[in-house]
A and B are shown apart, each in its own frame.
Chain A
Amino acid sequence: MKNNMKTSKIILAISCTLFMAFSSSKIEAQEKQNARISVQYNKIGNQNLLKISAKYKEDKKFVPASDLNLKVYKTVSDDSTTLLGTLKLAKDGNGIFDVSNEITKGLDTISFSVVHEASDKFEEASNEVGIKLANLSAVLNLDDETTPTIMATLTDVNNVPLEGVELKVKLQRSFAPLAIGEDSYFTDESGTINVPITVKMPGLDGKLIYEVIIDENETYGTIKTIIESNLGTKIKDLSTFDQRTMWGPPRKAPLVALIVPNLLIFGIWLTLFFLIFNLYRISKQKKS
């Protein structure tokens, strides 16, 4: 009896240990990593946002960092800092933080900072970006019928034109936009660029969506404005999916491939069934 009690206790102890060991999550290394945070200011149309990403070095390679507790602050000209909100990054280390227009209203310049307070895995980390706010507008000029033109104007918040800023014009496509015209254009004294659209591109239902972009500018960040147009040439469906082909599904076989074999099979098997029937006829012959 005594032995049995001892055995029971041991078994119970082992089972409890095993249970805890399996159900608890992995115990991670205690060494803290240094995460690198990057912040970019983007304005798409009328929407402001911050593109934030973080990575850290593991085994000499950079790996996305996602277990960060990020706080986003704004700092304005009078050096006052306000907390805007928090952000959790996705598994690939990227995140998007919306900045409402209220926050940038009436301001000339603004600075955003992203801070991660020290956590179990990561040391404290932060980064900031300071930008001068600007407005980019663009229209499609159809005066000249043969050559439509995109006219884009860049001004600051007080409607003062900004000269000599690099702009790019692109056409939206599935995986990446296609550059239109020159590699880059620079705004003139009136803060304008004029880009003729010389190449005819196809668009679904005639729709083509162009973008005018200030790409990762040190002062202004990234600003993008969109122009919708109907300049797209018609798309012809080149697939044979709806046709009867030798590479189609069974019900879309060419008619010849359906009719001829079936006729042969039908004709031959009709004869065969009759021949089998003949066997029956022979067996049923009455003795004369």
Chain B
Amino acid sequence: MKSYEQLTNDLAPKKFGLYGKLWIGFLSVIILGAVYAYYLQFTRGLEITGMRDYSLWGIYISNFVFFVAISLVGSLVTAILRLSGVTWATPLTRISEIIAVAAIIMGGLTIIIDMGRPDRIYNLFLHGRLQSPIVWDVIVVTTYLTISLLLLFYPLLPDFHILSKKFKANVKLSKIYAKLSLNWTGDAAQTSIYKWSISTLSVLIIPVAFGIHTVTAWLFAATYRPGWDSSNFGPYFIAGAFVAGAGGVIALMYILRRTHHLEEYITDFHFDKMGKLLVLLILVYIYFNVNEYLVPALKTTEKEVGHLKALFYGEEAWLFYTVILGGLVFPAIALLFKGMRKPLPIFIIAVIVVLGAWWKRYIIVIPTLLHPFLPVQGVPESWHHYSPTHLEWLITWGTLAGAMLIVTLLVRYVPIIPIHETAEERGIEEPKNETNDEK
């Protein structure tokens, strides 16, 4: 069994190597480009995008839905699995919370990027209407962000305490860690508050997570449009969110395992378990997709026909089948084989699932808008289609890079795997000579 010190050394955050610095540089370049592109958008207007009066929402919105979806992984792994007593997921809780926090922050930014007049955002607070699903969304996103931050921060308290001792040599860093640990000593009183708080947060985050993605789904379901006018949308989106989130966690845990040499803590066993979980979640999501697409196809209601035709054998058919088959069906089948649940294969499959998830939201948002109730007449031919512009892509990449930057920076200063909880689970006791107990 490992000693406490060995454990701490393994799990403590490490400085950036060459690759780390190159990675940050790469992300920064994309973000700077995106900031410039946004400056152009802010001054010239949304005309720099490919959106027009029929395709009035585009990849900014589908990107926003993607971010909200993937942020639900925080509630899934940290809360649901924890409350069900699934202890193998403990090493993954921090990764999930980091993804959740990064995603929800960038999701909030993305929705502001889509606004025609972001300079008037204060109107939301001065004149906000509680009848509007957008106002509900703003409220829920803010609430979920707060809960996610707390659920990230609380388990970090003991870890910050450990790190402040470990990095004693670096006085400044040690002091920051100490301050962040809020004078954590691990005594009975603190532990009881800590345990109660984490339990409460775990319970609280589940309805809020369900709320956030249901409300986001209602941004579409509250309209009459074919493809969106579905009472199924809330659960459909949540099922999809868990798929995207699980895929994201698997992808990130593989990368971090390699960069931080965590093979002893994130083992094949974890990949295997997550793989099985992912299969289950994908199958549930496929079930929802069947309901969403097959039911209107059976009825061929007039307003649905144009939209379904486009998806099944029209302009968007190639993307539709790629996303459903490539992003869901094939991964689910592949993951049924134990061999495919080994770290490297499952990583590749997880990346495909996440990419599929991003494009699935495109399929949800854009085709419906291009098939309104009344025929599209009296507007330029290009308005009958939607094609994001380079600047629009650059800004979108900027938000994705922003999310990855947040993850990268958090991982630099925060233990990827909770040290304290891992020690507890493995029964490794903290050495007494360093505690603050004074007998």
B-contacting residues of A (Cβ < 8 Å)? 246-250, 253-254, 257-258, 261-262, 265, 268-269, 271-272, 275-276, 278-279, 281-285, 287-288
- B residues near A278, Cβ cutoff 8 Å: 193, 196-197
Q: Which residue of B lies closest to A279 (CB)?
A: B182
Cα–Cα, bound, A250→B130 (Å): 6
| Per-residue contact bits, chain B 185-199, to A (CB 8 Å; 1 contact, 0 not) | 101011001101100
Shortest distance between the CB of B267 and any CB in chain A (Å): 32
Q: Say if the beta carbon of B146 comes within 8 Å of chain A.
A: yes
- A residues near B197, Cβ cutoff 8 Å: 275, 278-279
Indicate the size class of the contact surface on chain B: 20 to 34
Q: Say if the beta carbon of B150 comes within 8 Å of chain A.
A: yes
Cα–Cα, bound, A31→B260 (Å): 91
- A residues near B404, Cβ cutoff 8 Å: none
Q: Verify A283–B130 contact, CB threshold 8 A.
A: no
Q: Say if the beta carbon of B408 comes within 8 Å of chain A.
A: no
Contacts of B183-238 to chain A: CB distance below 8 A: 183-185, 187, 189-190, 193-194, 196-197, 200-201, 204, 208
Known: A250-B129, A276-B150. 14 other contacts (CB 8 A): A247-B131, A249-B129, A250-B127, A250-B131, A254-B131, A261-B136, A268-B143, A268-B204, A271-B200, A275-B150, A275-B200, A282-B182, A284-B183, A287-B187
- A residues near B146, Cβ cutoff 8 Å: 272
Q: Say if the beta carbon of B119 comes within 8 Å of chain A.
A: no
Cα–Cα, bound, A285→B190 (Å): 7
Known contacts A249-B129, A268-B143, A276-B150; is A285 also within 8 Å of B183 by CB? yes
- B residues near A248, Cβ cutoff 8 Å: 131
Shortest distance between the CB of A17 and any CB in chain B (Å): 39
- A residues near B147, Cβ cutoff 8 Å: 272
- A residues near B153, Cβ cutoff 8 Å: 279
Q: Which residue of B lies closest to A259 (CB)?
A: B130
Cα–Cα, bound, A269→B194 (Å): 18
Interface centre among A246, A250, A253, A276 (most CB of B within 10 A): A250
Cα–Cα, bound, A275→B198 (Å): 9
Q: Verify B131–A275 contact, CB threshold 8 A.
A: no
- A residues near B187, Cβ cutoff 8 Å: 285, 287-288
Q: Which residue of B lies closest to A287 (CB)?
A: B436
Cα–Cα, bound, A271→B143 (Å): 11
Q: Say if the beta carbon of B45 comes within 8 Å of chain A.
A: no
- B residues near A279, Cβ cutoff 8 Å: 153-154, 182, 197
Interface of B is mostly: helix
Q: Which 9 A-B pairs have the closest CB atoms?
A: A283-B182, A250-B129, A246-B131, A278-B197, A283-B183, A282-B190, A253-B131, A285-B190, A253-B130
Cα–Cα, bound, A209→B107 (Å): 62
Q: Say if the beta carbon of B20 comes within 8 Å of chain A.
A: no
Contacts of B141-170 to chain A: CB distance below 8 A: 143, 146-147, 150, 153-154, 157
Q: Verify A265–B139 contact, CB threshold 8 A.
A: yes
Cα–Cα, bound, A112→B363 (Å): 75
Q: Say if the beta carbon of B345 comes within 8 Å of chain A.
A: no
- A sample of 9 cross-chain residue pairs with beta-carbon separation below 8 angstroms, ordered by A number, consists of A246-B131, A253-B130, A257-B130, A261-B130, A271-B200, A272-B147, A275-B197, A279-B182, A282-B194
Contact partner, A250, options B128, B200, B208, Cβ 8 Å: B128
Contacts of B98-153 to chain A: CB distance below 8 A: 127-131, 136, 139, 143, 146-147, 150, 153
- A residues near B193, Cβ cutoff 8 Å: 278, 281-282
Cα–Cα, bound, A282→B182 (Å): 7
Q: Say if the beta carbon of B302 comes within 8 Å of chain A.
A: no
Q: Say if the beta carbon of B438 comes within 8 Å of chain A.
A: yes
Cα–Cα, bound, A276→B150 (Å): 8
- A residues near B127, Cβ cutoff 8 Å: 250
- A residues near B143, Cβ cutoff 8 Å: 265, 268-269, 272
- B residues near A258, Cβ cutoff 8 Å: 130
Q: Which residue of B lies closest to A246 (CB)?
A: B131
